[in-house]
Structure 1
Amino acid sequence: MSALANATPDRGSTLTAAIARIAEFWGLSNAKLGTILGVSAPTVTRLKRGTAALDPASKSFEAGQFLLRLFRSLDAMLGSDDAAAKRWLTTPNLDLGGKPIDEIDTMRGLISVCEYVDFYRARV
C-alpha cells in the first residue's frame, strides 16, 4: 500500500469529524447530539475527541449522514450564515409541527426535516 492510501481517512472518521464540527456550529450538547445519533453522551465525547468513530454499517452513521445533509442544505439555503441556521432550527415551524431542532431527535423526524429543507431549497 502506498503512503497516500495510508493517509486517507476512512468514511467513519471523516463523518465523525464533520458531525463534531456541526455540533460546534449549532451549539448541540453531547446529550442532544447523542439523541440525534442514537448513542450515549459519553460516546459523543469520545467521537468529538477522535478516540472513536461512527461505524459505516451502523444506524448512527446513517443518522450522521442525514445530519450532514441537513447542515449542507441549510448552509446553501441560508448563504453560509451559521447564526441564521441556528435560529431556523430553534424557531417553531408550523409545517413541521414544532421546532426543527426538536424534530430531529428521531430518524423519522431527521429525514422529514431534511426533505422539508431540500424541498424549499429546490424552489429557490
Structure 2
Amino acid sequence: MNTTSSTAYNYKVVRQFAIMTVVWGIVGMGLGVFIAAQLAWPFLNLDLPWTSFGRLRPLHTNAVIFAFGGCALFATSYYSVQRTCQTTLFAPRLAAFTFWGWQLVILLAAISLPLGYTSSK
C-alpha cells in the first residue's frame, strides 16, 4: 500500500508572498535605519514635510508589521494549508487576488502616510 500522494501544490502564490516578504522587510527596516539616522543627523530631513521623522515613523512601523509580517503570514498560511490538508488551493485566482490586493493596500499606505493623509489629530 502506497501512503504517499503526488499532489501538485500551488507554490506560485507562496513564492510571491515570500519574495515580497523579503522586499518589504528590506524597505521597512531600511526606512527604520533612515529615520534613526535622522535623529542623529537632523539635516537628513531634507526640509521636506514628507521626509520628516513624524511622517516616516508610522510608515516604518506599518511597513514592518503589515507588509513584512503580513506577507510572511500569508505565505506560511498558503503553504501550510496545502500541506496539512494534502490538497491544492480551492481557488488559485482568489489566492492571486489576495496577493495583488494586499500589495495594493500596502502601496497605497506607503503613499498616503508620508503625504499626511491620516486621521491623527
* TM-score with structure 1 setting the length: 0.30
The structure number with the bigger radius of gyration is: 2
Structure showing greater relative contact order (alpha-carbon pairs closer than 8 Å, 6 or more residues apart): 2
- Which protein is richer in helix relative to its size? 2
